Every structure is written in C-alpha cells, then in structure tokens.
C-alpha cells in the first residue's frame, strides 16, 4: 500500500509517446493507484499530431483532420489537438488524499499552470465559465479530465513551442473564434535567443513547481516504469 505521510508526487518525464499508447499507460497506472500500489504521479510528455474528442465533443468542431489520427476518449470537454512542442500532463492522483471535489480539482490544475506561467513571466488567468488557462484573451492551455473512484487521469495540454496553425483543423475546445497561443509566442523567443530545448526545460521546471505549490506536494523525478512501446 502507499505509505502514509507527506504527499509525494512522482514526476515522470516520458519524452515523445504515441497518444494511444499513453492512453493505455495512464489507464493502467490509474488502476495501480486505485489499488494503492503507487504514489500519485504526474506524467509529462509530448505526442505526435493527434486530435482527441472528449465526451462532450461535437463532430462539427472537427473541421479537417488532414489525415492525422482522431481518437474518442472518456475525458471531459470537446475537441483538442496535441502535437510536438506541447507539454502534455497526465496527473494520476487519488483525490481522497486532497479533496473529493471535481470543481476544486479543475481549479487547482488551472492554478498550477497559472503559477508556472507566472514563473515564466506570462500573466495567465482563468476565463469565467470556461475550463483552461488564458493570457491576454488567448488560450494557452487546455484541460480535460476523467475521474474514477476519485482517481484522476487525462489532464492538461500547455502549448510551449507548438505549431499553432495545427489548431486550424478544429474549433479548439468547441469555442468559436478562440485564439490559441504558446509560451514561445507570449515570451517572444522565436528569434533564436533561446533554444526550443531550453524553453521546454524551463517550462517543465516551472510547471512542476506550480504543481508543488498548488497541490501542496513534494515532487520527485522517477524513471518511467512500464513505458509503452
């Protein structure tokens, strides 16, 4: 069983993982968490280009998939895009150790990202009535989750150096007219002053620190276990 004591968050930096493999991986990890055989986890990774359709997704919001994979999933929300340069986070958390309140969980996920973006010098906020994180009226992070017996999976997608033109395939999150943005665009670092790798590493550090503060956990990096192939 998971030992009692201070809340520990195992952080797995998994690199590029195909979406369907990552989906099965987090489902399996959620079962492990339900059984008490692992700590809370935060998987941080990237995906190859893919469009995912949540439980509330409407087909009309998929404009032109352009041949990339489209996956229907159990998370909340509408349609979104994942691709290179986007930091995707899948928290596998037992909310009985925090608060058994889905609204609280969504707001705390937003707070973790807002905190991390603040560290990066980006003033981010919530948009009333809409889940996700915004800056200057532009959406920088999407959130869609699933909870079973108070254990979470799915999570967030934060655009770091994402090709924002890829969102033209969809109506992001089902919000007509939404403008997507990225850490790179908001920081104005596309001139080569910083490398994409350095920006990625800085963003990962900031997001993990944001999780520590928002969820009041102690994060520790661990190596991937049962990484899908």
pLDDT tens sequence across 16-74? 999 999 999 999 999 999 999 998 999 999 999 999 999 989 999 999 988 999 999 99
- Burial class from Cβ neighbours inside 10 Å (0-12, 13-18, 19+) for residue 16 reads exposed
How do residues 106-153 score in pLDDT, each as one tens digit?
999 999 999 999 999 999 999 999 999 999 999 999 999 999 999 999
Residue-level pLDDT at 195: 85
- Give the mean model confidence (pLDDT) for residues 158-162: 98
Q: Tokens at residue 60, please?
A: 């009309």
pLDDT band per the 50, 70, 90 thresholds, residue 188: confident
Q: Which of 94, 100, 88 is nearest to 39 (CA)?
A: 94
Residue-level pLDDT at 138: 97
Cβ atoms 93, 152 nearer than 8 A: yes
pTM of the shown model = 0.93
Above pLDDT 70, what percent of the chain? 93
- Give the mean model confidence (pLDDT) for residues 182-190: 88
Residue-level pLDDT at 134: 98
| DSSP letter for each residue of the chain | -PPPSS-EEEEEEEEE--HHHHHHHHHHHHHHHHTT-S-EEEEEEE-SSEEEE-TT--GGGB---TT-EEEE-SSSSSEEEE-TTEEEEEEE-BGGGS-S-HHHHHHHHHHHHHHHHHHTT---EEETTEEEEEETTEEEEEEEEEEETTEEEEEEEEESS--GGGGGGB-GGG-TT--B--HHHHHT-TTTTS-HHHHHHHHHHHHHHHHHHHHT-EEEEE--SS---
Cβ atoms 126, 149 nearer than 8 A: no
Cβ atoms 158, 141 nearer than 8 A: yes
Residue-level pLDDT at 228: 55
Distance CA 27, CA 153 (A): 7
Statement: residue 229 has pLDDT above 60: no
Which of 173, 189, 204, 208 is catalytic? The answer is 173
Catalytic, 38? Answer no
Residue-level pLDDT at 2: 42
The β-bridge relationship of strands 8-16 and 40-46 is parallel
Residue-level pLDDT at 190: 56
Cβ atoms 53, 72 nearer than 8 A: yes
Distance CA 197, CA 180 (A): 21
Statement: residue 171 has pLDDT above 60: yes
Distance CA 12, CA 15 (A): 9
Statement: residue 192 has pLDDT above 70: no
pLDDT band per the 50, 70, 90 thresholds, residue 167: very high
Statement: residue 3 has pLDDT above 50: no
């Amino acid at each position: 069983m998971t030992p009692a004591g201070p809340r520990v968050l195992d952080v797995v930096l998994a690199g590029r993982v195909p979406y369907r493999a990552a989906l099965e991986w987090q489902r399996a990890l959620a079962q492990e968490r339900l059984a008490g055989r692992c700590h809370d986890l935060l998987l941080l990774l990237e995906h190859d280009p893919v469009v995912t359709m949540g439980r509330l997704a409407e087909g009309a919001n998929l404009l032109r998939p352009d041949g990339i994979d489209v996956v229907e999933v159990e998370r909340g929300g509408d349609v979104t895009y994942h691709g290179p340069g986007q930091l995707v986070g899948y928290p596998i958390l037992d909310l009985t150790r925090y608060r058994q309140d889905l609204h609280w969980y969504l707001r705390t996920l937003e707070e973790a990202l807002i905190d991390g973006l603040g560290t990066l010098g980006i003033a981010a906020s919530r948009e009333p009535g809409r889940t996700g994180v915004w800056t200057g009226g532009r959406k920088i992070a999407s959130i869609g989750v699933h909870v079973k017996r108070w254990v979470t999976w799915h999570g967030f997608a934060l655009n770091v150096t994402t090709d924002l033109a890829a969102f033209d395939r969809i109506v992001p999150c089902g919000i007509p007219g939404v403008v997507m943005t990225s850490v790179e665009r908001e920081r104005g670092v596309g001139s080569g002053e910083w490398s994409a790798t350095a920006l990625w590493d800085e963003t990962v550090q900031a997001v993990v620190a944001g999780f520590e503060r928002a969820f009041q956990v102690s994060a520790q990096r661990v190596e991937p276990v049962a990484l899908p192939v």
